[in-house]
Homo-oligomer: A and B are copies of this chain.
Amino acid sequence: MKLLEERILKDGVVRPENVLKVDSFLNHQMDVKLFVEMAKEWKRLFAAKPINKILTIEASGIGIAAIAASVFQVPVVFAKKAKSINLDQDNYCTKIQSYTHRNMYDVIVSKKFLTKEDHVLILDDFLANGCALMGLLELVEMSGAVVEGIGIAIEKGFQKGGSEIRAAGIQLESLAIIESMNEDTGEIVFRAKNE
C-alpha cells in the first residue's frame, strides 16, 4: 500500500537489530486517518470473506483493529496478556514467546467472545517471526471459529513469520513488506507486490 510505504519512508527510523521505529504514527502516537485508509484497503482485499469479527492482541494492535472494525462494521475482540496463567473455564489461553523481551507470556480470550459461529479477521501492527500470530491462531482454533484472513500493517519480509503463514494456506495481507533495511544508511527496501 503506497500510502503506508511512503509514510514509513518519511517517518520510520531504522534501529540496530532490525528494529523499525514507527512510533510517531503506528504504535505510540497513532495517525487514525492513516488507519482508516489501511482499513479500507483490508476491506477491499478481504471483500470475498464473510468476516463478522476482528481479533487482535493488546496493546499496539487495538487502535488499528478498532478503526478497522468501524470500517468493517463488526465488533472487535482483543486478546489480553494475563499476569498469571488463568486456566479457568471461561477463557481460551495460550502462551506466546516475546521476541523483544525474550520471555513467555500468557494470552487469553473469553470463550464468550470467540465461538464456532465466528468468521475472524486477525489484525496486528507488525509481523516478524510470527509468534504473536501463531498464538492468536491457536486461540481461534480452540474456539472452533474460522480464520478468514490476517491483515498486518508492516511485515518484516526477511523474518520467517510471513512465509510460514502463507505456506499454511491462510490469506495474509501485509500492507507494507520490508525486504531489507540498513541501520547505517537508514535505507528501507520494500517487496514489490503482484497485484
**SS of A interface (majority):** mixed
Contact indicator A28/B113 (Cβ below 8 Å): yes
Partner of A70, one of B36, B62, B78, B110: B36
Measured CA separation A4–B83 after assembly (Å): 30
From B29, B36, B77, B101, give the contact of A77 (CB < 8 A).
B29
Partner of A76, one of B32, B59, B65, B77: B32
How many copies of this chain sit in the oligomeric assembly?
2
Bound form: Cα–Cα A59–B83 in Å: 14
In the complex, whether A186 has a CB less than 8 A from a CB of chain B is: no
- Cα A29 to Cα B52 in complex, Å, equals 13
Q: Please, could you name 25 A-B residue pairs with CB atoms under 8 Å apart, sorted by A? A: A23-B110, A24-B113, A25-B75, A29-B75, A30-B66, A30-B69, A30-B75, A30-B76, A32-B66, A32-B76, A33-B70, A33-B73, A58-B59, A58-B62, A59-B59, A59-B78, A59-B80, A62-B62, A62-B66, A63-B63, A63-B65, A63-B78, A64-B66, A67-B67, A70-B70
Interface residues of A (CB under 8 A from B): 23-25, 28-33, 35-36, 58-59, 62-67, 69-70, 73, 75-78, 80-81, 83, 101, 109-110, 112-113
